[in-house]
Amino acid sequence: MVKKQIDVSTEEKILSAAKKVFISRGMAGARMQDIADEAGINKALLHYYFKNKEQLFENIFLKLTEGFWMQITTVFESDDPLFEKIHAFCSLYIEKVIHNPYIPLFVLYELNQRTPRFVKTMFRNSPPRPAKLVQQIDAEVKAGNINPIDPLQLIMNMISLCVLPFIGKPMFMTVMKLDEKSFLDLMQQRKKAVPEFIINSIKK
């Protein structure tokens, strides 16, 4: 029993250290030796728990996104009006990435490396279900309440506007001369700015 507690403690120490390294150096820049040093263990012990940094980040990713996709589905399948649903989705998505800014870059990296397996792993075989939202958008278009738009285009616009600033963070910070606090303040503002922009683009 004691051995199991030590194992759990060591694994949590590794995961905590890895998160710090991935945040500071990014996925490409992180090395297993950096993670071992941050955790205060030797590299051989690190490899005993995780064979490579991809496996390590995947483990972190799954822990961080646990329950998140169900939250997205809950928004999609709620009975809320469309505009309220757009606000809820954008706020939820942006808030999640603010607290875990390296997730979008990791997803892009993994999708480019091993798409089929990672998609299944990412969603734990239970991806968000947008069918009700798609029907709702179609119904609003047919009722003349919003401008004609393909529901899938609208959903992709929502996701893209939420995620892109985090993917291009170094570029945006350099071009706009932002420090870390200014960037995070801007992202907090986007929880309101993005849904308002989308809604203004489709409402009559």
Q: Count structural domains, the chain.
A: 2
Which of 178 and 123 is assigned the larger pLDDT? 178
Q: For the whole model, what pTM was predicted? A: 0.77
Q: Is pLDDT above 70 for 69?
A: yes
Same domain (yes/no): 39, 135? no
Q: How many residues does the chain have?
A: 204
Same domain (yes/no): 35, 101? no
The alpha carbons of the chain give a radius of gyration, in whole angstroms, of 20
Last residue of a domain, one of 61, 88, 103: 61
Query: Each residue of 104-160: pLDDT tens digit?
Result: 877 776 667 655 666 667 777 678 899 999 999 999 999 999 999 999 999 999 999
Same domain (yes/no): 123, 95? yes
- Read off the CATH number of the domain in which 97 is found: 1.10.357.10
Sorted by sequence, the CB contacts under 8 Å of residue 35 that are 6+ apart come out as: 14, 17, 18, 21, 46, 53, 56
Same domain (yes/no): 53, 143? no
Question: Can you give the residue range of the structural domain that contains 146?
Answer: 66-202
Same domain (yes/no): 42, 124? no
Q: What's the confidence (pLDDT) of residue 4?
A: 40
- Read off the CATH number of the domain in which 42 is found: 1.10.10.60
The partner residues of 146 in beta bridges, in order of sequence, read: 203
Same domain (yes/no): 56, 93? no
Write down the H helix ranges in 30-67. 32-39, 43-49, 53-64
Q: Among residues 182, 203, 165, 194, which one has the least CA distance to residue 92?
A: 194
